[in-house]
Amino acid sequence: MTSLAKGEPAGDGQRQAGMPLLEVRGLTVNHGQLRALDGISLRVFPGEVYAMIGANGAGKSTLLRTIAGLHSPAEGSVLLDGADVTGLRPERRARAGIVMVPEGRRLFGSLTVQENLQAGASYARPGPWTIDRVYELFGWMRERRGQRTAQLSGGEQQSVAISRALVANPRLLLLDELSLGLAPVVVQRIYAMLPQILATGLTVLLVEQDVSQALRVATHIHCLLEGRTTLEGTPAGVTAAQVEAAYFGLASSGASPGGGAGPAGEGN
Amino acid sequence: MTRAATTAAGNPAGTALGIRVTRSQRNVAWTGAIALVIVAVLAYFPYLVYSGTTTILVQAFIVLTLASMWNLLAGYAGLVSVGQQAFVGLGAYLVLILAIHGTPPFAGLPVAAIGCGVVALPLWWLVSRLRTGYFAIATWVLAATIMLIIERFSSIGGGTGMPLPGFAGMDPTYLTAYTYWAALAVAVLAMVSVYLILRSRLGLVLTAIRDDETAARSSGARTGLARLLVFLVAAAGCGAAGAVLAISQLQVQPAAVFNISWTAEMAFATIIGGLGTIEGPIIGTAVYILLQQTLQSYNAWYLIILGLIAIAIALFARRGLWGLAEDHLKIRLFPVGYWLHDTALAPGRIPGS
Amino acid sequence: MAWVNAIIQGILTGGLYALFACGLSLMFGVMKVVNLAHGDLAVIAGYIAIGIVFVTHMPVLWSFLIVVPVMAAVGYALQRTLIQAALNRSVLTTLLVMFGLSIVIENGLLQFFSANTRGIGVNLALVTDSINAGSQIQIAWLLIVIFAAAVAVLTGLQYFLSRSRYGRLIRAVADDPEAAQLAGADYRHVFGIAAAIAFGTVALAGIAYGMYSQLDPTAGTDTILLFAFAAVVIGGLGSLWGTLLGGIVLGIAQQVGAQLNISYETLAGYLVFLAVLVIRPQGLITTGNQS
């Protein structure tokens, strides 16, 4: 298992100079007797698409849920724009700009599409995203806005779930397992929306089961295994072999000792 | 490395890993001996004390019986019934009906208990599909319905009730003593039954339900059957208590025997003593009697205070007074669990059973 | 004609029962709390109304203007403290706590007010007058007013839940409290609002019952809670209008039973309830989701 010094993700100089939008320091989370996350640290800078990858049970969703406030860490802290939000309840974090699209969509079943969006906008921050704008982004939605969400397809539900988060005008959008239960074509189409979302100034932290999908859309990737970080870097800066090793926890095969992206210029 | 789980049979599977599994044989022997002594002493009471004391004890035995039944229902099977007074009343009325037709009340007692168990079967069918909260109110409605039906029959006293026949000519001292022994017997039988049930395979299922119902069901345990059996046993137990009640009161009145306060008393006693523990009902009954004697029984205060304490304990000390004692003293009177002895280390104990 | 009268009486008392039931239904639909103290809280509201009228000499009919907000505030407070604490533990704990509360309230009332019954506004024309609509048909004005009030409350509730922002939030939180948190809603506060509304309707129910019948400490469970529950089950868990239908069915069953024999009234209602439980457990109206 390639180990990584906890702390600075490698990257280019611009990253190291600026202020991260999200910072996680030494996060340790327990589920009863099980240690789900062990001393995780990371930084996400504005405008990035930061992807968490790793096998089932690696702790990716737990990390996202902890950042969203649904789990309390045993140790460590979560900082938004430098401010410690570790003690904030989930709804306060949402109002502060950390909005999560939870695993499995979790739409409000007895509400229509429009009502789901209105619910999402209940505590919205000021910003460019409105229900109308979301209807423009997803062309089909306006016509079907009066329908109950159970009548939508999986991909459509996922779009509604994302929209519900968008209309809150988050600063940091957390996407938990978007691709779960969806056909690859549908997944691609949804991820194709990302650039338009990012263009409005959002930052995205996502969990993705499908590694190649993650590598396609991410600006940075972070691999977890059994609650620990095994790889950090940019898609361009890591080899397929390194990713595989980090994902499965194999003894390093050709990976550099520090893990992640080494000195600039190391390619695949 | 996690420790191996217990095996139902005992040692063999564990020894290879350096772990010995035993049932608490020695503890049981001691507790059993002490219990036997206590029961013997209690049985001797009619020769020792005034009838005032035995009357109080009869009441205590009734509440103890009811509480241990309610504990089985709510603490182990997850069935919160607030309609158990239905069986208390039915037990009383069955004894009354039998007595009217010539059966001596003490002989009618076991019949009443079994009768309640039988009646419980169709009632279970009526309410078993309801979810916890609605199940609770439905049992309340059932109890109210049964009372209303019974009140229809003037031959057994209608709405005002009637005295219990069958004791004409009996010496009051003997009657008091027999009543006392009947109450004691019912209470002992109830506690022994609960102990045996929880030690059995049924008990394993029940403890699993108590700890995590969804997990129990998905592991294949016959939870439906387990809950049905518990419901029947609890009905019989409450019916027996109701029979004792009728005998001790020498009369049966619907408003008294079908009163919700029976459920209140058994629920509060169990909660305060420790829901989901065998020892709980004993402690709870003791607290109840203490409060009642201190506050004079016909005053509503003891129920108010009992209720407030029960609410506080439900919120802050879920396993009741006995749970608190256990956590601090690390003893168990009626062990139904298993001991894990790590042969490499000093003997240890797994919590939770 | 006596039977026609019975049916009319039954329909109208259905309004009273619907008023009993909507608070119970709301608390279960939103917080998944079965409020066993529901009826007792209605009785308290009735006693408060009596007390207020006694002290301020205000017209009885306007007492609800004070009692409803007071009870709503009590509801919010109780939900945020006691009930939320119980919910955080488990469903079982919540049930036990609410049962405990019911017994404490009942015995508390017994202790302080004795078992004597009291009525509200017994001398009011509204309470005593009725319409004579033919031989053997006598319709109490009060019942008509209560029925109208019940319809108004249900309509208002339905409108509030489906159109307003808070109504939407309540429905969202009822569907998925965690997802609602992620959308920025404090579900504890939303629960509190729902409880406040429920307790408000409970207050109306208590006052209505005090006018229609007599209040006594045990009326909370003997009558109000069990009838409310029967109405909810007959009408279908999860449907507000269903509780009106359930109340009407219950009312008719009771009045028809009373026609056969005056003492069969309550029993007839329960027997119909049990029958529905056997034949169609979901009740007469089923919606796809909880209210």
**In chain A, what are the domains?**
13-248 (3.40.50.300)
Interface of C with A in 201-220 (CB under 8 A): none
What was the pLDDT predicted at C3? 86
Q: How far apart are CA C84 and CA C31, in angstroms?
A: 9
Residues 6+ apart with CB under 8 A from C77: none
A108 vs C175, C186, C288: nearest CB: C175
| B314 with C222: Cβ contact below 8 A | no
Chain C residues whose C-beta is within 8 A of a chain B C-beta are 28, 32-34, 36, 82, 85-86, 89, 91-93, 95-97, 99-101, 103-104, 107-108, 110-111, 221-222, 225-226, 229-230, 233, 237, 263, 266-267, 270-271, 273-274, 277-278, 281
What was the pLDDT predicted at A2? 38
| B129 with C34: Cβ contact below 8 A | no
pLDDT at A263 over 60: no
pLDDT at A257 over 80: no
| A164 with C183: Cβ contact below 8 A | yes
- B269: tokens are 């006693």
Q: Which chains touch C (3 or more CB pairs under 8 A)?
A: A, B
Interface A-C: count of C-beta contacts within 8 A: 82
What was the pLDDT predicted at A5? 36
| A119 with C183: Cβ contact below 8 A | yes
Q: Note down pLDDT in tens along chain B; length 353 residues.
A: 333 344 444 444 444 556 666 666 566 778 888 888 888 888 888 888 887 888 999 999 999 999 999 999 999 998 999 999 999 999 999 999 999 999 999 999 999 999 999 999 999 999 988 888 889 989 999 999 999 999 999 899 888 999 999 888 888 888 999 999 999 999 999 999 999 998 888 888 888 888 877 777 777 767 888 999 999 999 999 999 999 999 999 999 999 999 999 999 999 999 999 998 888 999 999 999 998 888 875 567 888 999 999 999 999 988 899 888 888 876 655 666 555 555 554 444 444 43
Residue B58 near residue B248 (C-beta atoms within 8 A): yes
| B127 with C226: Cβ contact below 8 A | no
Residues 6+ apart with CB under 8 A from C13: C143, C247, C251, C254, C255
In chain C, domain spans: 19-218
Contacts of B126 in chain C (CB under 8 A): 274, 277-278
Strand partners, A75: A28
| A150 with C288: Cβ contact below 8 A | yes
Residues 6+ apart with CB under 8 A from B277: B71, B75, B319, B320, B322, B323, B326
What was the pLDDT predicted at B340? 55
Torsions phi, psi of C74, nearest 5? Answer: -60, -40
Burial of A144 (0-12, 13-18, 19+ CB in 10 A): middle
What was the pLDDT predicted at C59? 84
**Which amino acid is located at B113 in the chain?**
A
Whether A103 contacts chain C with CB within 8 A: no
C115: nearest CA partner in chain B = B300
| B133 with C32: Cβ contact below 8 A | yes
pLDDT at C214 over 90: no
- Quote the minimal CA–CA distance from B249 to chain C in Å: 23
| C183 with A100: Cβ contact below 8 A | no
Interface test with C, best of A71, A88, A89, A91 (most C CBs within 10 A): A91
Q: How far apart are CA B148 and CA B142, in angstroms?
A: 10
Q: What is the DSSP string of A13-44?
A: HHHHHS--SEEEEEEEEEETTEEEEEEEEEEE
Residue A128 near residue A200 (C-beta atoms within 8 A): yes
Q: CA–CA distance from B27 to each of A128, B6, B23, B45 (Å)? A: 71, 18, 9, 27
Residues 6+ apart with CB under 8 A from C20: C39, C42, C205, C209, C224, C227, C228, C231, C247
Whether C275 contacts chain A with CB within 8 A: no
pLDDT at C110 over 50: yes
Q: How far apart are CA B347 and CA B20, in angstroms?
A: 9
Contacts of B133 in chain C (CB under 8 A): 28, 32-34, 91, 95
First to last CA, chain A: 20
Alpha helices in B49-104 (DSSP H): 51-70, 85-100
Contacts of B315 in chain C (CB under 8 A): 82, 85-86, 89, 93, 97
Interface B-C: count of C-beta contacts within 8 A: 124
Q: How far apart are CA B177 and CA B72, in angstroms?
A: 29
Contacts of A166 in chain C (CB under 8 A): none
What tens digit of pLDDT does each residue of B212-257 get? 777 777 777 678 889 999 999 999 999 999 999 999 999 999 999 9
Query: b/e string for C232-256 if b means 16 or more Cβ within 10 A?
Result: bbbbbbbbbbbbbbbbbbbbbbbbb
Higher pLDDT, B43 or C171: C171
Q: What is the ipTM of this complex?
A: 0.90
Residues 6+ apart with CB under 8 A from C210: C46, C49, C50, C118, C119, C120, C121
Q: How far apart are CA A114 and CA C276, in angstroms?
A: 37
Residue B251 near residue B164 (C-beta atoms within 8 A): yes
| C184 with A150: Cβ contact below 8 A | no
pLDDT at A10 over 60: no
Q: How far apart are CA A218 and CA A232, in angstroms?
A: 12
Whether A126 contacts chain C with CB within 8 A: no
Using CA of residue B171, residue B172, residue B176, residue B179, what is the dihedral sign?
positive
Contacts of A70 in chain C (CB under 8 A): 178, 181-182
| C183 with A120: Cβ contact below 8 A | yes
In chain B, domain spans: 49-276
Three-state SS at C115 = coil
Interface test with B, best of C88, C99, C109, C223 (most B CBs within 10 A): C99
Whether C175 contacts chain A with CB within 8 A: yes
Q: How far apart are CA A179 and CA C54, in angstroms?
A: 66
Radius of gyration of chain A (CA): 18
Q: Which chains touch A (3 or more CB pairs under 8 A)?
A: C
For B256, half-sphere exposure in the C-beta direction (CA atoms, 13 angstrom radius) is: 18
Q: How far apart are CA C69 and CA B93, in angstroms?
A: 46
- B211: tokens are 């700890």
